[in-house]
């Protein structure tokens, strides 16, 4: 997949309250990455990844509105079913509350990589597909403050991903 012109990219969801910014220095992706999945996959969806670093376009976006301390998700520009779109890098390595709780081997392998930078590099030129959804038990957080709700968990649908 080659790079898209900015005018070809769709609007980023929630950018009116959580402004997204283009990443100029890709070394910021060498952090571990947050497993937040605002732009995840849906069943039967195909995602094509960039071919090289020259083709990589990334945007960052705060997870919570109006919070200076909000974690930031990384959104990679991809082809979603042949059209320009985004995927949360966190959606590719999401895991459950219990150690080793993954929906598929793909997310386990992505989580074993050290950073979003490494995940992007491992996916150059690859295509993936969501075959079904499975529930993961995750820690629950207050939707406004982002504070952990001790002793509370919730089930979230998470994609089962395979190489296409």
Please report which confidence band the pLDDT of residue 102 belongs to, taking 50, 70 and 90 as the band edges: confident
| Mean pLDDT computed over every residue of the chain | 84
Mapping DSSP to helix (H, G, I), strand (E, B) and coil, where does residue 7 land?
helix
Query: Degrees (nearest 5) of the Cα angle 8, 126, 119?
Result: 90
Q: pLDDT at position 162, please?
A: 92
More confident residue, 60 or 143: 60
Residue 156 has what pLDDT? 82
**Residue pointed to by tokens 């969501």:** 130
H helices of 19-146, where?
105-112, 116-122
**Beta carbons of 51 and 93 less than 8 angstroms apart:** no
Average pLDDT over residues 129-137: 89
Beta-carbon contacts of 153 under 8 Å, excluding residues fewer than 6 positions away, are: 97, 137, 138, 139, 140
| Residue with token string 């993954």 | 102
Q: Which of 72, 61, 47 is nearest to 123 (CA)?
A: 47
Confidence category of residue 131, pLDDT binned at 50, 70, 90: very high
Q: Quick one: CA dihedral 14, 58, 86, 163, positive or negative? A: negative
Q: What's this model's pTM, rounded to 2 decimal places?
A: 0.83
Query: Where is average pLDDT lowest: 5-19, 77-91, 99-113?
Result: 5-19
Query: Mind listing the pLDDT tens digit for each residue in 11-63?
Result: 876 666 666 788 888 888 887 666 666 667 889 999 999 999 999 999 887 77
Query: Encoding tokens for residue 138?
Result: 């995750």
Q: Is the pLDDT of residue 86 over 80?
A: yes
């Amino acid at each position: 997949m080659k790079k898209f012109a900015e005018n070809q990219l769709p609007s980023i969801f929630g950018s009116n309250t959580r402004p997204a910014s283009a990443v100029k220095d890709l070394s910021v992706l060498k952090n571990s990455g947050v497993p937040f999945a605002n732009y995840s996959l849906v069943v039967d969806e195909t995602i094509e990844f960039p071919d090289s670093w020259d083709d990589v376009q990334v945007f960052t976006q705060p997870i919570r509105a109006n919070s200076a301390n909000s974690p930031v998700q990384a959104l990679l520009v991809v082809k979603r079913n042949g059209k320009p779109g985004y995927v949360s890098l966190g959606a590719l390595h999401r895991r459950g509350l219990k150690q080793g709780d993954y929906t598929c081997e793909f997310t386990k392998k992505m989580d074993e990589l050290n950073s979003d930078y490494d995940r992007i590099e491992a996916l150059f030129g690859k295509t993936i597909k969501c075959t079904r959804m499975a529930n993961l038990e995750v820690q629950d957080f207050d939707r406004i403050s982002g504070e952990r709700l001790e002793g509370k968990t919730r089930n979230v649908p998470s994609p089962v991903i395979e190489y296409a």
